[in-house]
């Protein structure tokens, strides 16, 4: 089998790179071990949230960050590319209606009631922007164990906001105590009366002038429609708050991108673990992929490696302290002899910044800065130098590096 | 200052202290138990969970072996529900001295530990993951015992006999009445208030901390050497039988299947401070390598957690402190009236979890003698309270219960099958704001994800049930995240790290718990509570 580009990894970075390449008319195959980390993220696009102080303007803070941290991925990517990438993402996400910019972060409530800075949010979440001090009614579903509105409201009230809470009895499966978020989302997609029942119960509790915060389960395939219809029926602004994985809003993004890839003629192979490569003279001819029954090689002219960091399994720390990149055995930067972890769970851990060092075109480089394979490009959470969760920077890095890798490949192949 | 009066004050809420409380209460004494933290937070809650048959001591320490097999039989009878009847195997691996096996068999026969040699093929049939190169295998009646469940069963039994329990009450000072100990002043950690507990008799059951407590009482020189032992829990029942190396006791030579995990133990190194038990990368590696001797591949299995406990090793002059395994594991009773001319105080330490009931009996016997009363211990006869006192623990019991309530209750901790109903009930019963207290009762957060999913849920439920304000709930959440981190951090490699990063993703990436509106729990006099709409 031959194609122009093989993208290894189906998270935000891999999907972005693949879709951008398809838009250039290249033949692309995506091989992914699983569905990708989009299913874990909250569906917001975080560019830079903390440095460690809260970031109001990602544009100026990214510039300051890269001045002091030349090893940070943003130092390679740059603000101009970042901005272009966010515009591209907003366009690609289509009717999910992402808004926001590099100029100012939105402040959206997290499910514990932290005020979480993020650059872009889908239409169904943007209404939760706490900078506008909305009066809030936070509503959970009795059967959904992943959202605690009273706890959330307490923390927001403490932070000086006006917030009440309530728990709705309406359920997609009356009589069942434990109904997960996906079932709520599917029931809202299918409708069958659940939208209406939910809207009625909510309308009876909301007071004029309040905005209603609900767990982010308002439909999967038909999310924009569900959200709009609920707002109309309730007669109040409604916004979603992301909660525990699997993340419905993250899955919406995944589905959009997967559908666009299909439409663009790309193939996606999920359940395929890239385990090695056929190499020749500093280039890669093919990646070797293990699926359920056998190994097979996917040949291409260029390869995007976007298998993620430690959480997604792109990188692995061995007993003894050595970090490995699992597909190509690429050199890993930022590994250390000393302690990899801090004593406090929430403290910065030195290991967090470990990953692949790259050049400006995102070719992985070795310790001497020498390109390892001239047709391999790395993107996403496997890049060295960032602490995505602390900084709230993971989505920006993934999208911008996915775009950069695609552009570099375009320059090479087209 | 609150004043309490009791006949017997028991200090130390491990298995021994809980056993003493029960024994004293059953003999008709008015008794109270205090601990500086929660019950079972010390050595009892940090052991591998082995109910010894005595086989481990059959050669080296026949006295302990006899005690173990006797208590093993008693505990199976009275604490059946706390025990899983796994059975035990002693196997000779290629690394073991082949001559030891015959001495082992002789030792078992001499001490009354039932032992039966089985064919290697039969041992491998029973435990297919065992090292296929073992040369001999022996069956003994080892079992696994849930330490926390045992403590709470003793406490509940004692409470039925009128005893009081005061966790989170560290002893501030010991009360003296001339040459007698007359109780203690404790600080109620939840209110910050001092509580004066006046007692006719005080029993020091503080294990590895017993020397310190004796010092406080004015009886210096009771030397208890804390022996650090580390243990690692694997995320699977790699074996379903307790497996031991058939060799003189050494490091990492036991794997205990308990509840949903297998625990390998342990090490033994003398330390100065039982509260400071650092775990090094070398110790972790040695323990995992040792596991490979018994179960090849053990070191690459998914590990869940590592922890260390401090054995209380009562030091006599015969053995040097350098190798603590040579000090008798036998129980140590110090009658301070005889030793120090200090009445009203007994120290009971040493021993092991398997012999906790015997230790309690011996201690209360000594107390009765000093008080000049004759009351017989009945703890070996009366079955402990429980939901199913007739049977042993069965691994599938939680799943069976869950299946019955599948549609009626939410599963809050998927790993350990903890339902919302059980969680709410435990929160109410324990009256606690501390999720770690709940963990010791329900095993909340002890499974593969180490709390990644249940901590947020449990915090939300704790907040609603206990009417906590936001900061108090945040403090509970952060404290539990930190408590879980502590036990995974030394084993963070491979899939353990992957899981920990997923948990980070949830706590930092998604929930942003490090930036939630702060303030010390309960620090503000009038926390603004958000209104709840019915």
- For chain B, the structural domain boundaries read 83-143+227-311, 397-515
Closest residue to B492, CB basis, from A113, A176, A341 = A341
Chain A residues in contact with B408 by the CB 8 A cut-off are 177
| Structure confidence by residue, pLDDT tens digits, A174-212 | 999 999 999 999 999 998 899 999 999 999 999 999 999
Q: Which residue has the tokens 């005595």?
A: B54
Instruction: Summarize pLDDT for A307-316 with one digit per residue, the tens.
Output: 999 999 999 9
What contacts A13, CB < 8 A, 6 or more positions away?
A306, A308, A379, A380, A381, A397, A398, A399, A401, A402, A405
Determine the residue of chain A that is closest to B480 in CA distance: A345
- pLDDT tens digits, residue range A338-381? 678 999 999 999 999 999 999 999 999 999 999 999 999 999 99
Q: How far is B527 from chain A (nearest CA, A)?
A: 8
- Buried-state track A234-262, b at ≥16 Cβ within 10 A, e below 16: bebbbbbbbbbbebbbbbbbbebbbebbe
Q: Is residue B402 within 8 Å of residue B411, measured between CB atoms? A: yes
Q: How far is B284 from chain A (nearest CA, A)?
A: 9
> Which helix (H) or strand (E) is B10 found in, with range?
strand B2-11
The answer, for B512 touching chain A at a CB cutoff of 8 Å, is yes
Give residue B337's pLDDT band: very low, low, confident or very high (50, 70, 90).
Answer: very high
> Contacts by A67-74 with C-beta closer than 8 Å and gap 24+?
A69/A385, A71/A333, A71/A334, A71/A353, A71/A357, A71/A384, A71/A385, A72/A385, A72/A386, A73/A383, A73/A384, A73/A385, A73/A386, A73/A397, A73/A400, A73/A401, A74/A48, A74/A386, A74/A393, A74/A396, A74/A397, A74/A400
CB proximity B411 to A under 8 Å: yes
Inter-chain CB proximity A310 and B464 less than 8 Å = no
What tens digit of pLDDT does each residue of A25-84 get? 999 999 999 998 999 999 999 999 999 999 999 999 999 999 999 999 999 999 999 999
pLDDT at B521 over 50: no
Q: What length does chain A have? A: 414
Residue B387's pLDDT is: 77
Length of chain B: 534
- Domains of chain A, earliest start first: 2-97+251-413 (3.50.50.60), 99-244 (3.40.50)
Subunit contact A42:B510, Cβ cutoff 8 A: yes
Mean pLDDT on B502-506: 94
Partners of residue B497 in chain A, C-beta under 8 Å:
310, 316-317
Residue with tokens 């922890």: B307
Hunting for tokens 């510039």 — which residue is that?
Answer: A63
Q: Which of A143, A164, A255, A251 is nearest to A212 (CA)?
A: A164
* ipTM score assigned to the predicted complex: 0.97
Please state, in angstroms and rounded to a whole number, the distance separating the CA atoms of residues A128 and A117: 11
Q: From start to end of A101-204, where are the E strands?
A: 106-109, 115-118, 120-121, 135-141, 163-168
Q: Tell me how far apart the alpha carbons of residues A98 and A127 are, in angstroms, rounded to a whole number.
A: 12
Measure A176 CA to nearest chain B CA, in Å: 5
> If you average pLDDT over residues A297-316, what whole number do you get?
96
Mutate to test the interface with A, among B408, B445, B510 (most CBs of A within 10 A): B510
* Contact call for B463 and A41, based on CB within 8 A: no
Q: By C-alpha distance, which of A180, A205, A184 is closest to A194? A: A184
Q: Which of B456, B470, B477 sits opposite A244 (nearest CB)?
A: B456
- Chain A hits for B477, CB-CB cut-off 8 Å, are 112
Instruction: Provide the pLDDT for residue A73.
Output: 97
Calculate the alpha carbon distances from A393 to A46, A61, A225 in Å.
Answer: 5, 11, 29
Report percent pLDDT > 90 for chain A.
94
Q: Report CB contact under 8 Å: A54, B515.
A: yes
> CA B243 → CA B35, B67, B75, B111, B134, distances in Å?
33, 20, 20, 20, 12
pLDDT tier, A144 (very low <50, low <70, confident <90, very high otherwise) = very high
Tell me, what's the pLDDT at A265?
96
pTM of structure: 0.94
State yes or no: pLDDT of B529 exceeds 70. no
CB A284 within 8 A of CB A330: no
Task: Give the residue with greater pLDDT, A3 vs B531.
Answer: A3
**A395 contact residues in B (CB cutoff 8 A):** none
- Pick A166's closest partner by Cβ from B284, B505, B533: B533
The rounded distance, in Å, linking the Cα atoms of B288 and B264 is 8
Instruction: Find the mean pLDDT for residues B448-461.
Output: 95
Q: Is B477 on the interface with A (CB under 8 A)?
A: yes
> Would the CB atoms of B516 and A164 count as touching at under 8 Å?
no
> CATH number of B83-143+227-311: 1.10.1740.10, 3.30.9.10, 3.30.930.10, 3.40.50.300?
3.30.9.10
Q: Is the pLDDT of residue B325 over 90?
A: no
B527 → chain A, closest CA residue? A158
Residue B330 pLDDT greater than 80, yes or no: no
Quick one: pLDDT at residue A354? 94
CA atoms B104, B106, B110, B116: torsion sign = positive
Name the minimum distance, in Å, from the CA of B124 to any CA of chain A.
Answer: 29
- Give yes or no for residue B331 having a pLDDT over 70: yes
When the pLDDT of each residue in chain A is averaged and rounded to a whole number, the result is 96
Chain B neighbors of A244, CB-CB under 8 A: 453, 456-457, 506, 510
In angstroms, the CA B484 to CA B475 distance is: 14
Computed over its alpha carbons, how large is the radius of gyration of chain A?
22
> Is pLDDT of B526 > 70?
no
* Chain-chain contact of A318 with B493 (C-beta, under 8 angstroms): yes
Judge whether B11 and B202 are in contact, CB under 8 Å.
yes
pLDDT, average across residues B110-116: 98
- Which residues of chain B make contact with A201, given a CB cutoff of 8 A? none
Distance separating alpha carbons of residues A15 and B510, to the nearest angstrom: 21
Residue B240 confidence (pLDDT) above 70 = yes
- CB distance from B394 to chain A under 8 Å? no
How confident is the model over B397-409, as pLDDT tens digits? 999 999 998 899 9
């Amino acid at each position: 089998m031959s194609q122009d580009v093989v993208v290894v990894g189906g998270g935000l970075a891999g999907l972005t790179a693949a879709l951008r390449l398809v838009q250039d008319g290249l033949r692309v195959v995506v091989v992914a071990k699983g569905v990708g980390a989009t299913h874990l993220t909250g569906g917001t696009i975080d560019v830079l949230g903390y440095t460690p102080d809260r970031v109001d303007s990602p544009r100026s803070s990214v510039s300051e960050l890269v001045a002091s941290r030349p090893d940070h991925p943003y130092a390679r990517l740059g603000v101009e590319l970042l901005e272009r990438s966010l515009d591209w993402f907003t366009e690609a996400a289509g009717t999910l209606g992402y808004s926001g910019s590099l100029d100012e972060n939105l402040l959206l409530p997290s499910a514990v009631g932290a005020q979480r800075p993020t650059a872009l949010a889908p239409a169904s979440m943007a209404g939760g922007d706490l900078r506008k001090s909305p009066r809030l009614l936070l509503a959970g579903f009795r059967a959904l164990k992943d959202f605690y509105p009273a706890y959330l409201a307490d923390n927001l009230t403490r932070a000086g906001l006006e917030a009440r809470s309530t728990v709705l009895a309406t359920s997609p499966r009356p009589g069942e105590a434990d109904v997960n978020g996906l079932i709520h989302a599917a029931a809202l997609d299918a409708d069958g009366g659940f939208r209406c029942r939910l809207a009625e119960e909510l309308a009876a509790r909301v007071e004029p002038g309040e905005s209603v915060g609900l767990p982010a389960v308002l439909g999967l395939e038909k999310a924009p429609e569900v959200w709009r219809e609920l707002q109309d029926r309730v007669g109040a602004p409604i916004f979603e708050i992301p909660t525990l994985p699997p993340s419905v809003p993250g899955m919406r993004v995944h589905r959009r991108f997967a559908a666009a890839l299909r439409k663009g003629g790309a193939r996606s192979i999920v359940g395929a673990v890239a385990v090695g490569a056929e190499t020749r003279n500093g280039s890669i001819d093919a990646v070797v992929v293990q699926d359920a029954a056998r190994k097979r090689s996917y040949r291409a002219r260029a390869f995007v490696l976007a298998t993620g960091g430690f959480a997604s399994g792109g990188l692995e720390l061995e007993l003894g302290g050595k970090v490995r990149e699992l597909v190509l055995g690429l050199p890993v930067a930022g590994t250390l002899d000393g302690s990899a972890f801090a004593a406090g769970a929430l403290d910065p851990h030195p290991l967090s910044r470990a990953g692949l060092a790259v050049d400006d075109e995102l070719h992985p480089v070795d310790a001497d800065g020498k390109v390892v394979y001239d047709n391999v490009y790395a993107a996403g959470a496997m890049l060295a130098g960032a602490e995505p969760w602390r900084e709230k920077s993971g989505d920006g890095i993934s999208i911008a590096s996915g775009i950069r890798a695609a552009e570099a490949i375009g320059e090479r192949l087209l | 200052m609150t004043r309490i009066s009791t006949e017997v004050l028991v200090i130390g809420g491990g298995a021994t202290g809980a056993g003493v409380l029960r024994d004293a209460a059953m003999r008709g004494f008015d008794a109270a138990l205090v601990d500086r933290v929660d019950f079972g937070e010390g050595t009892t809650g940090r052991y591998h969970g082995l109910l010894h048959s005595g086989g481990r001591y059959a050669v080296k320490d026949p006295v302990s072996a006899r005690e173990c097999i006797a208590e093993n039989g008693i505990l199976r009878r009275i604490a059946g529900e706390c025990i899983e009847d796994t059975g035990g195997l002693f196997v000779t691996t290629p690394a073991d001295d082949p001559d030891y096996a015959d001495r082992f068999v002789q030792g078992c026969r001499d001490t009354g530990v039932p032992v039966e040699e089985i064919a290697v093929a039969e041992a491998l049939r029973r435990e297919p993951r065992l090292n296929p190169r073992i040369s001999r295998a022996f069956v003994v009646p080892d079992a696994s015992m849930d330490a926390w469940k045992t403590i709470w069963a003793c406490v509940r039994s004692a409470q039925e006999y009128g005893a009081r329990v005061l966790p989170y009450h560290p002893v501030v000072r010991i009360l003296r009445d001339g040459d007698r100990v007359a109780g203690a002043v404790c600080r109620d950690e939840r209110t910050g208030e001092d509580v004066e507990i006046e007692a006719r008799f005080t029993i020091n059951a503080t294990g590895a901390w017993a020397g310190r407590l004796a010092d406080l009482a004015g009886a210096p020189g009771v030397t208890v050497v804390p022996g650090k032992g580390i243990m690692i829990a694997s995320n699977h029942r790699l074996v379903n039988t307790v497996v031991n190396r058939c060799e003189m006791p050494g490091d990492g030579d036991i794997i205990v299947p308990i509840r949903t995990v297998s625990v390998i133990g342990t090490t033994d190194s003398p330390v100065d401070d039982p509260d400071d038990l650092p775990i090094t990368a070398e110790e972790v590696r040695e323990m995992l390598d040792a596991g490979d001797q018994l179960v090849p591949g053990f070191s690459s299995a998914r590990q869940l957690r590592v922890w260390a406990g401090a054995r209380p090793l009562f030091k006599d002059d015969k053995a040097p402190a350098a190798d603590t395994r040579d000090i008798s594991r036998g129980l140590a009773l110090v009658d301070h009236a005889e030793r120090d001319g200090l009445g009203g105080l007994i120290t009971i330490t040493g021993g092991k979890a398997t012999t906790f009931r015997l230790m309690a009996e011996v201690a209360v016997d000594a107390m009765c003698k000093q008080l000049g009363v004759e009351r017989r211990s009945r703890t070996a006869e009366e079955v402990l309270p429980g939901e199913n006192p007739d049977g042993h623990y069965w691994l599938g019991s939680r799943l069976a219960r869950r299946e019955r309530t599948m549609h009626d209750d939410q599963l809050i901790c998927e790993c350990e099958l903890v339902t919302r109903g059980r969680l709410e009930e435990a929160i109410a019963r324990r009256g606690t704001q501390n999720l770690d207290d709940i963990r010791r009762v329900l095993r909340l957060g002890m499974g593969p994800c180490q709390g990644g999913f249940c901590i947020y849920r449990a915090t939300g439920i704790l907040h609603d049930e206990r009417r906590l304000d936001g900061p108090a709930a945040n403090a509970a959440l952060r404290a539990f995240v930190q408590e879980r981190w502590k036990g995974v951090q030394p084993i963070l490699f491979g899939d353990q790290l992957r899981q920990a990063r997923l948990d980070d993703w949830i706590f930092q990436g998604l929930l942003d718990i490090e930036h939630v509106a702060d303030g010390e729990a309960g620090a503000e006099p009038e926390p603004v509570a958000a209104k709840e709409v019915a």
